[in-house]
Structures are given as structure tokens and as C-alpha cells.
Structure 1
Amino acid sequence: MLTIGLTGGIGSGKSTVARWFIKQGVPVLDADKTVHNLLQSDSLVISKLVQDFGTEILDKKGQINRSKLGAQVFNDDDARKRLELIVHPRVIECMNAEQTVLRDSGVRVCVWDVPLLFEVGFEKFVDEVWVVWIPRDLQILRVLARDKLSLSEVEARIAAQGSLEDKRQQADIVIDNSGSELQTIAQLEETWERLIVNRRFSKA
């Protein structure tokens, strides 16, 4: 099975590319959704987080409040690392389990959609990395237009995710999403056909 690691940054258009893969019938394993499910239903993860970060991260129903948890770790590297030590091993375990089921059912390619792929070391679990890239100034403009954030808030979120330029340098495939959606799709189709021609996997 060919495993593609898909990453990018806030406002880069990674979700657009993920949807394109889904339309091609390629399974996309979403790390954010996996984390969300774990925070809702994994009793071991929840208990460890409460033990480490306190009951103030819980909502009125006793469930993890992602906003409150995020507020504790956003500007605290030590807290973020503690969070990762608790959550990431289970994320990897869950995504590998999903991938095994897909492989056993005959699927030949899948995508790991991981926003912080390089930052958390998930690149070692995939065969190649696709980075959805746009210039920083355009990234800022798109996020400002989409979200109700100030310029300083946008810049802080971009900084927290790491440089798209750095990710671009580490990528196996770069999808330039600075143009129109049609131009992005054309790049995806060309790269996809090249994979098929090179027999990296079959369509069947």
C-alpha cells in the first residue's frame, strides 16, 4: 500500500486537496478527526489529560473542552509536549489500525491528512509527503478573509504551525494552491496520472 502524507498550513487549501482525494475514491485518514474522537470517547486518554491538565479542561458534561485544552497548550511548549505524549501514540495506533483494515480489504493507496505532519514526526509513517503550499502573504490574506481574526492572531497561528516554506523544502510533492481551484486540480490530476503511469499502485 502507498501511504501519502498530506499536510499544509492554515489557509493553504489542504482540505480542498483532501476532498479531491476522496472524490477519486482514495480513503483519507484524518488526524484531527482521530484526535477529536479520542478526546470524546477514549477513557484512558481523557483520564490522563485530566490528571495532567486539571478538571478545568472539562465542560459541564464532563467531556474534554478542546478550546480550554488548547488555551493551555497554545503558547506553552512544555504543555504542548505533554499533550503530544498522551495523545499522539493513540492517534498513530488508531490510524495504523484503520490503514490495516483498508489494506486487508484490497485498498492500494490511502492518505494521512496531518496538519502538523513534520512538527510531530508523523512523516516517518508515510511513504511520501504532499505539501499544499501558498506564499505567506497570500496565506495571511486568505485567513483574514475567512476567519474573524486580527492580523496578529493570524500570524500567531501561522507561526504555531511552522513555515510552509520549510515544509515545501521537505516535500516529495508540492501542490501550489496560489492560483485558482481549477489550476490546483490540474496539478493533482497530473501528479495522480504520473503515479499510475509509474505503477506505484493500481486503480483496482
Structure 2
Amino acid sequence: MRYPHHIKIYKKRWHLVVTFLTIVLPIVFIFVFSKIGGISAGGVFVDIGASFVRVIFAYIISVALAIVFSLLLGSAKAEAFFLPLFDVLQSFPSFALLPIFSIWFGVGNITAILFLVMTMVWPILFSTLSSLHMVREDLKEASFVFGAQGGIKKLLHFTVPGGFLNKASMDGNIPILTFGIIALLLILFSMNKLIWLPLLKQSHDYSHE
């Protein structure tokens, strides 16, 4: 049986091994370091799950904002005006906004999500703008001919075809803090290995067709 290219990459033995390890190793680390730190492994799973939900919400909001801003900056005049402004804003440290968010919204989910959005949105925005500039002119003309005019139609048919670490640090719980850093690195590695690298390879294949 022949698989499409973007599916065949998941059939390679090394990819299956890496996938298995990135799923099993974090679970092992959770149990080991929870025993060392003297806390409940179930509580750690709950905290990780809550952090994961916050990251997902922040990521969805960041992607939506990045796409909307990218479409609004479609004209050269708008981009010339707003791009330097966004460039200055993205260099502003997100941690400086954390006390302001805490005063306005208190210490809770909203503050955490807003902080994550301010951290995520800029690289997504600039990557999206860079990708839109790389779109071939013949594809843009084809989208115009087939009726994909305006931001919404282009969006639908063309453009788109760790909270417990702070507590552990304050409590001086070094084993749990170490576990949190390792778990975070494993999550980042897993997302890059299982999602973004295959998508990047697939995008390169399409660009050469």
C-alpha cells in the first residue's frame, strides 16, 4: 500500500521510536520526580493538564490574531506604517506586562493566557507575513480569477488551504523544578518533531511542484 508523502514520514521506524519515547519518557519523569519531591503524581498530571489547556487557548488566540493582522497588512501602505510599530512591540519584554495583567485581572487563567498570547503572537505574525510575501504571483492571480477576493475569502480558500514551575521555584523544590524544565523541553521537542518538521517538509515539497 502506498501512502502520501506526508503520511509516509510517520511510517519510518526512527519516527515511530521517537514518537514512542516522547510519549513514554514524560510519564516516567512525572512518576520519578513526584516521588522524589514528595508530591502526588495525580496532582502533577492535573497541573500539567491545566497548563496545557491554557497553552492551547493562547495558541488559538495568537494564530487568529496573527492571521487577522497579516490580512490587514495586505497593502503596502498599511504594512509600511504598522510593521515598524509591531517590530517595536515584539521587542518589548512580555514579563514587563505580567504585573499589569495581574493587577487588572488578578492571578488566574486570564492573566496566564494573556501573557502567553503576548509571547506567542509575534513570531507567528512575522512568520505569517513572511510566508505571504513568498507566495508566487501566479497563485495570487489564480485566486483572484476564481473569486477569492477580500480577506475572508482568501483566509478560507487560499491562505488556509507552566504554572507549577513558579511555585516550585518559590518553595525551593529543586526536584520538581527540574522535572518541570525537562517536561517543558520534551513537550517542545515533541511538537517540533511530530508536527512542525513534517509540515515544513511537506511545504517544501509543494513549493517545488
What is the TM-score with the length of structure 2 in the denominator?
Answer: 0.24
What is the TM-score with the length of structure 1 in the denominator?
Answer: 0.24
Higher helix share: 2
Q: Which structure would you say has the larger Rg? A: 2
Higher strand share: 1
